[in-house]
Amino acid sequence: MNGASLAFIGDAVMALYVKEHLIVSGYTKSKDLQQHSEKFLSAKGQADFVIHLLEQDYFDNDEMEIFLRGRNHKSATIPKNADVITYRLATGLEAVWGYYHLNNQTLKLEQIWEQYKKYIGQKYETISLR
């Protein structure tokens, strides 16, 4: 599967994890849900997190290949709130999430989610994760 397809499904999986977490944490107002989900789902937050993972040599060889496949995919558009490098790093991370999901690697998804949740909570201290 190509990097764009993996990132497409990975984006959806990541969004589901975030939204479910916020609902379970007690957020009910649309404004709160939107504001808090943006911290998790922004290209900037994802790119910062993936840099953190890369500094830790988190990915094995197969995962790194998936990350690079997603990161190196040439997109016709770049979101207005992210530069090209940030967007590509985020896309690489989404590709890994998609790979985990499509290969039923639930434990890996849970592990990366727990790290991501902690990282975003610390980076954006204004998020009160209930």
Residues annotated as catalytic (active site), given as ranges: 11
With H, G, I as helix, E, B as strand and everything else as coil, classify residue 130: coil
**Look-up of token digits 């599967």:** 1
Decide: 33 and 22 in contact? Cβ < 8 Å.
yes
What are the start-end ranges of the H helices in 25-83?
Answer: 30-41, 43-55, 61-71
Q: Output b/e per residue, 27-66; b: 16+ Cβ within 10 A.
A: beeeeeeeebbebbbbbbbbbbbbeebeeeebbeeebeeb
**Residue partners of 86: CB distance under 8 A and separation at least 6:** 43, 44, 47
